[in-house]
Amino acid sequence: MRGLNAEDVRGGFRVTTLLDRFGVEYSDRPQIRLSTCLLCGKQQRRPAFLIDRETGDCIHHSGPNASGAQCKSDIFGLTAALAGLDVRREFPRVLKLAAEIAGIAPDSDPAALARQRAAYQERIAASAQQAATERAAAEALVPALWRERERRHLRGERYLADRGLDPAGLRACGDVVRYRIDDGAPSVLLHDLETGAPINILTRQLDREPKVISLDIRQTLDRQDVRGSHSTVGTLGGRIGDLDTAGEGADIAIIVEGVADTLAALLAFDGCIVLGANGWHNMGAIAAAIAPRVVQARGWLLVGVHDDGPGKTGAANAMLAAIAAGLVLNESVDAIDVGAHKDLADAWRAGWRWTQPARLGPGGAT
């Protein structure tokens, strides 16, 4: 008798069967969206917990869990969470339960399982292709969606001014902020890490939750049966390719977290390349993308730190990625010191202004 195999279980697993087993209410779509995270239990007004119907991969798009990591898992983590098990310490029990839900036993016919695995791989490949096609179609519409936003809006500009973010100063930085037509909520573009193309729009809501939202591909494509999504990994404000490597332009890159800090950094670091991250968990990816260009330019990378657990983790990940690329801590890569302020935006509003630390070296890698 052969033992249970995780790949066999994946091949026969159905997410809907799991959700039905534990009485979870949902709408059966290619991407199942819930207002309650099944991993951490957090409840929200907006469906921010997404489950891929084919793979069971799931992610909570609204911040970290209790341990400071982003809430995401696969069918086994999802099964464990619903059953009250620890997927790491009790994986054999989790696998047994998942197999039971999938209708797989240790003595199941190997040939039947092989056919099931092959069919599963075909479904996954087709799903991935559909998602990629939908994402490309949606992201091609982002420039037009950006043009539909207002360049000026009394309520939105008043909100920014109240936060110490001078609207006139931001207009002088270029087309970096626009406003949602109905309520003036400030919006910024998200750029692809490789191409620099606009791929999403992040909006800082004024009196709604969640505070920051990105585009919903269902609205962009005007369809409900989509598998894809807009990418949320990229840079706010500037683009990776904006940093000059020929010694003639800007060679200082600034990585910060979130919409407000991105706008504050554009005001605070005139002449530098501001690369805002859509959440702390994306700071490392941005640093890994920009650091080789900083090394080549013999420039500097400065990293903003939010004064909370996730913010510190994101900044640490960014600096580790920069060091791995050849930058030197406290010489060519450094944290932005905002004193006792919780983040750059608060520091800027309070009158903080950046001065280059004497310990920074001549730039570049040594």
Question: Which pLDDT value is given to residue 92?
Answer: 95
Query: β-strand 300-303 against 273-277: which pairing, if any?
Result: unpaired
Task: Read off the pLDDT of residues 261-282 as tens digits, 9 standing for 90 and up.
Answer: 999 999 999 999 999 999 999 9
Residue 361 lies in a domain: no
Q: Are residues 308 and 196 in the same domain?
A: yes
Question: Which pLDDT value is given to residue 44?
Answer: 82
Identify the residue with better confidence: 115 or 4.
115
Residue 125 lies in a domain: no
DSSP 158-180: HHHHHTT--HHHHHHT-S--EE-
Residue 354 lies in a domain: no
Q: Are residues 212 and 87 in the same domain?
A: no
Q: Are residues 76 and 194 in the same domain?
A: no
Question: Which pLDDT value is given to residue 182?
Answer: 96
Q: Quick check: 187 pLDDT over 80?
A: yes
Give the closest residue to 241 by CA, choosing from 232, 250, 233, 229.
250
Q: Are residues 92 and 161 in the same domain?
A: no
What's the rounded Cα separation, in Å, for the pair 339 and 115?
Answer: 61
Section 90-113 average pLDDT: 94
Q: Are residues 72 and 210 in the same domain?
A: no
Residue 131 lies in a domain: no
pLDDT band, residue 239 (cuts 50/70/90): very high
Q: Are residues 187 and 329 in the same domain?
A: yes
Residue 118 lies in a domain: no
Residue 71 lies in a domain: yes
Q: Quick check: 3 pLDDT over 80?
A: no
Question: Which pLDDT value is given to residue 366?
Answer: 35
Q: Are residues 103 and 159 in the same domain?
A: no
Residue 217 lies in a domain: yes
Task: Read off the pLDDT of residues 8-51 as tens digits, 9 standing for 90 and up.
Answer: 999 999 999 999 999 999 999 988 999 999 999 988 877 889 99
The single-letter code of the amino acid at 221 is L
Q: Are residues 28 and 177 in the same domain?
A: no
Percent pLDDT > 70 in the chain is: 95
Helix (H/G/I), strand (E/B), else coil: 307: coil
Section 73-77 average pLDDT: 96
Q: Are residues 325 and 193 in the same domain?
A: yes
What's the rounded Cα separation, in Å, for the pair 94 and 147?
Answer: 49
Residue 269 lies in a domain: yes
Mean pLDDT of the chain: 92
Task: Read off the pLDDT of residues 318-365 as tens digits, 9 standing for 90 and up.
Answer: 999 999 999 999 999 999 999 999 999 999 999 999 987 776 666 554
Lowest mean pLDDT among 136-140, 167-171, 243-247: 243-247
Give the closest residue to 205 by CA, choosing from 176, 221, 182, 173.
182
Q: Quick check: 177 pLDDT over 80?
A: yes
How many structural domains are present in the chain? 2
Which CATH number covers residue 37?
Answer: 3.90.580.10
What's the rounded Cα separation, in Å, for the pair 50 and 61?
Answer: 8
Strand (E) or helix (H) holding 277:
strand 273-277
Boundaries of domain holding 319: 146-349
Q: Are residues 257 and 308 in the same domain?
A: yes
Task: Read off the pLDDT of residues 294-325 as tens digits, 9 standing for 90 and up.
Answer: 999 999 999 999 999 999 999 999 999 999 99
Question: Which pLDDT value is given to residue 245?
Answer: 86
What's the rounded Cα separation, in Å, for the pair 187 and 180?
Answer: 7
Q: Are residues 100 and 160 in the same domain?
A: no
Q: Are residues 307 and 172 in the same domain?
A: yes
pTM: predicted TM-score of the whole model, two decimal places: 0.87
